[in-house]
């Protein structure tokens, strides 16, 4: 009897604590590419999962194969998923000539590189990724082949290539026809070449069920090729994603490739600015903020553009941080916070989670070391969870609220959900007051990365952020005592105690009558 009464007494308390105390996210909608977060890895340098294909491997030579393969990626899919990534992007996996560990010296477009594993293993990789709701993107090269490709010395294929000439990056004809890095340049104006490349791209989709291509060196191929290629490739699989790489620091040059069927482009200019801003303290975020309006004006859909901080073609972002004698983890957190919370699809180069250092290629392609930097990895995981939970970060509008001397604040809004992102890139603590008119009155900002809580008082929200720190806040109703609920709870207790009293009194009267 006593146990039953105690359980009844506890029920109201359990109901009280079951009430959600944090800001809720907008109801989940159908997943789109702008909702993705991509983990980009170089197959040979990520993880060795199958020693049977370790021929010609030399771990002491940075220009030789290191042993990474398809099985190694399969073995680490849970590792990738646990950090919040929803897609993986791989460097070219096609058969390459000797020392083509990176995948860009292609010998055969219809065969996987034997150092990486068999076609069966790659198909398994895609299936295992899909089981975990992870999409797979491949780097596809149409501009050139390796110097040892069978076509190169085949007289019947002479018109499949442009004549060898030195590249002039200022001349459009040279940009399309010259040999980049002395690699045989494919004549993509030739209908036979076009048909071959397009058929190969479609074949891989049909055979393996991959989800997208990253298109290498888009600016070195005529635009009419890309229009035809995009139409053909997308006819094979619904919602197939094409991400173009246009190696231009001028955003207007990248925008020239709008309307060709390529969904998005990697934002090289923004990457360069992020590297400049976040490699040291007290750098203004003003130019980064200006990119938002520019992106909306220039690109068809800025939300499916690829954002990145470093990749296999530039020195690791950790390098300038170390040169500036600063802590890599701290600097990386600020840069990643910005990238994860602004429009675009974040692309994180493997090893970022342990702040890998490295100079120019191949030093920036070191074999992955899985001895984790728990703090940075946990931070990336938290950012990934926020992107997967709050649609405002992937679909919402963006509006600057404050920027001065390295301190920047902006808000993202989507269907009534409001998030405020504060990044203190300065060397001192900052105290900033935001007007309630820019947010809402009688509300509070709840920290999602830390435990900060900012309540509106006298029409102001006062944010205090330590040096080199960032926080993402959710706008929510003020927390505190719920007097209506407490009143209802009191009534329940009065009724409950009255019931107990009546039961006790009735029992006592019964005992008296029995005597």
pLDDT digits (tens, 9 = 90+) for 458-469: 999 999 999 999
Tell me the longest C-alpha to C-alpha distance in the chain. Answer: 119
Mean of pLDDT values over 168-176: 91
pLDDT digits (tens, 9 = 90+) for 74-102: 999 999 999 999 999 999 999 999 999 99
Q: Is there a cis peptide before residue 362, judged by omega within 30 degrees of 0?
A: yes
Distance, CA of 335 to CA of 316 (rounded, Å)? 13
What pLDDT does 502 receive?
65
Distance, CA of 124 to CA of 70 (rounded, Å)? 9
Q: Is residue 28 part of a domain?
A: no
Check whether residue 368 and residue 498 sit in a common domain.
no
Check whether residue 297 and residue 414 sit in a common domain.
no
What pLDDT does 21 receive?
42
Where do the H-state alpha helices sit in 19-68? none
Check whether residue 446 and residue 360 sit in a common domain.
no
β-pairing, 135-140 vs 212-215, is parallel
Q: Is residue 126 part of a domain?
A: yes
Strand extents, DSSP E, 360-468: 397-404, 407-414, 417-424, 430-435, 443-447, 453-455, 460-465
User: Higher model confidence: residue 283 or residue 374?
Assistant: 283
| Residues forming the active site | 216, 245
Check whether residue 138 and residue 257 sit in a common domain.
yes
What pLDDT does 247 receive?
87
Q: Is residue 7 part of a domain?
A: no
Q: Is residue 26 part of a domain?
A: no
CA-based end-to-end distance of the chain: 23
Buried b / exposed e across 445-461, counting CB within 10 Å, b at 16+? bbbbbeebebebeeeeb
pLDDT digits (tens, 9 = 90+) for 454-512: 999 999 999 999 999 999 999 999 875 444 444 555 565 666 676 676 655 666 566 55
Are 282 and 260 in contact by the 8 Å Cβ rule? The answer is: no
Distance, CA of 515 to CA of 506 (rounded, Å)? 15
Domain housing 405: 399-477
* Nearest Cα to Cα of residue 88 among 102, 100, 74: 74
User: Higher model confidence: residue 484 or residue 261?
Assistant: 261
pLDDT digits (tens, 9 = 90+) for 326-339: 999 999 999 999 99
What pLDDT does 255 receive?
94
Mean of pLDDT values over 290-306: 93
Distance, CA of 100 to CA of 117 (rounded, Å)? 15
**What is the residue-averaged pLDDT of the chain?**
91
Is residue 224 over pLDDT 90? yes
Distance, CA of 170 to CA of 276 (rounded, Å)? 25
Check whether residue 55 and residue 158 sit in a common domain.
yes
What pLDDT does 491 receive?
66
Check whether residue 339 and residue 323 sit in a common domain.
yes
- CATH number of the domain within which 246 lies: 3.20.20.80
What pLDDT does 374 receive?
87
* Nearest Cα to Cα of residue 418 among 403, 398, 441, 434: 398
Distance, CA of 23 to CA of 453 (rounded, Å)? 12
Distance, CA of 433 to CA of 448 (rounded, Å)? 19
What pLDDT does 192 receive?
98
Boundary residue ending a domain (359, 392, 425): 392
> pLDDT category, 402, cuts 50, 70, 90?
very high
User: Higher model confidence: residue 368 or residue 22?
Assistant: 368
- What is the spatial order of strands in the sheet that 417-424 belongs to? 397-404, 407-414, 417-424, 469-477, 443-447, 453-455
User: Higher model confidence: residue 294 or residue 482?
Assistant: 294
Q: Is residue 21 part of a domain?
A: no
Check whether residue 377 and residue 448 sit in a common domain.
no
Check whether residue 367 and residue 498 sit in a common domain.
no
User: Can you give the pTM of this predicted structure?
Assistant: 0.89
Is residue 22 over pLDDT 80? no
Boundary residue ending a domain (332, 366, 392): 392
Q: Is residue 361 part of a domain?
A: yes
Buried b / exposed e across 315-331, counting CB within 10 Å, b at 16+? bbbbbbbeeeebebebb
- CATH number of the domain within which 445 lies: 2.60.40.1180
Instruction: Return the percentage of the chain with pLDDT > 90, whole number.
Output: 83
> pLDDT category, 29, cuts 50, 70, 90?
confident
Considering only CA atoms, give the Rg of the chain.
29
Q: Is residue 513 part of a domain?
A: yes
Check whether residue 374 and residue 248 sit in a common domain.
yes
Q: Is residue 14 part of a domain?
A: no
CB-CB neighbours of 437 under 10 Å: 9
* Nearest Cα to Cα of residue 382 among 37, 1, 19: 37
Check whether residue 173 and residue 216 sit in a common domain.
yes
* Matching residue, tokens 């398994």: 124
Boundary residue ending a domain (371, 392, 413): 392
User: Higher model confidence: residue 442 or residue 373?
Assistant: 442
What pLDDT does 305 receive?
97
Distance, CA of 74 to CA of 116 (rounded, Å)? 12
> 486 exposed, middle or buried (CB, 10 Å; 0-12, 13-18, 19+)?
exposed
What pLDDT does 25 receive?
57
Q: How many domains does the chain have?
A: 3
pLDDT digits (tens, 9 = 90+) for 174-186: 999 999 999 999 9
Check whether residue 173 and residue 271 sit in a common domain.
yes
Distance, CA of 112 to CA of 132 (rounded, Å)? 23
Check whether residue 487 and residue 423 sit in a common domain.
no
* Nearest Cα to Cα of residue 430 among 463, 389, 395: 463
């Amino acid at each position: 009897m006593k146990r039953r009464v105690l359980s009844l007494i506890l029920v109201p308390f359990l109901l009280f604590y079951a009430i959600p105390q944090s800001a809720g996210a907008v109801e989940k909608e159908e997943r789109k590419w702008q909702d993705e977060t991509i983990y980009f890895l170089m197959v040979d340098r990520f993880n060795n999962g199958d020693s049977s294909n370790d021929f010609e491997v030399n771990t002491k030579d940075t220009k030789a194969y290191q042993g990474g393969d398809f099985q190694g990626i399969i073995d680490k899919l849970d590792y990738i998923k646990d950090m919040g990534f929803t897609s993986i992007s791989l460097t070219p996996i096609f058969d390459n000539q000797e020392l083509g560990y990176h995948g860009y010296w292609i010998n055969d477009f219809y065969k996987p590189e034997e150092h990486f594993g068999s076609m069966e293993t790659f198909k398994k990789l895609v299936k295992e990724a899909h089981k975990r709701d992870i999409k797979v993107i491949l780097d596809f090269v149409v501009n050139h082949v390796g110097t040892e490709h069978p076509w190169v010395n085949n007289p019947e294929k002479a018109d499949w290539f442009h004549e060898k000439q030195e590249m002039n990056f200022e001349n459009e004809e040279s940009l399309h026809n010259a040999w980049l890095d002395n690699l045989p340049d494919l004549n993509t104006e030739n209908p036979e070449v076009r048909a071959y490349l397009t058929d190969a791209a479609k074949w891989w989709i049909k055979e393996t069920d991959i989800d997208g291509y990253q298109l290498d060196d888009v600016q070195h191929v005529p635009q009419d090729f890309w229009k035809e290629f995009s139409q053909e490739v997308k006819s094979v699989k619904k919602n197939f994603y094409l991400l173009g790489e246009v190696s231009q620091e001028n955003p207007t040059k990248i925008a020239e490739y709008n309307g060709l069927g390529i969904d998005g482009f990697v934002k090289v200019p923004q990457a360069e600015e992020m590297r400049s801003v976040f490699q040291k303290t007290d750098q203004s975020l003003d130019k980064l903020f200006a990119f938002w309006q520019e992106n909306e004006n220039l690109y068809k859909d800025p939300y499916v553009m690829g954002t990145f901080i470093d990749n296999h073609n530039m020195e690791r972002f950790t390098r300038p941080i170390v040169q500036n004698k600063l802590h890599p983890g701290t600097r990386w957190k600020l840069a990643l916070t910005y990238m994860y919370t602004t429009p675009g699809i974040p692309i994180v180069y493997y090893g970022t989670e342990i702040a890998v250092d490295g100079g120019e290629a191949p030093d920036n392609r070191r074999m992955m070391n899985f001895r984790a930097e728990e703090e940075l990895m946990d931070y990336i995981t938290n950012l990934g969870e926020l992107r997967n939970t709050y649609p405002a970060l992937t679909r919402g509008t963006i509006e600057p609220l404050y920027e001065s001397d390295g301190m920047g604040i902006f808000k993202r809004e989507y269907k009534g959900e409001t998030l405020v992102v504060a990044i203190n890139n300065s060397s001192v603590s900052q105290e900033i007051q935001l007007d309630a008119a820019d947010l809402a009155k009688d509300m509070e900002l709840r920290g999602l990365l830390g435990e900060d809580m900012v309540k509106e008082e006298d029409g102001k929200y006062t944010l205090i952020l330590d040096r080199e720190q960032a926080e993402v806040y959710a706008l929510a109703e003020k927390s505190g005592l719920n007097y209506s609920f407490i009143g209802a709870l009191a009534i329940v207790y009065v009724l409950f105690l009255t019931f107990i009293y009546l039961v006790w009194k009735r029992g006592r009267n019964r005992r008296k009558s029995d005597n």
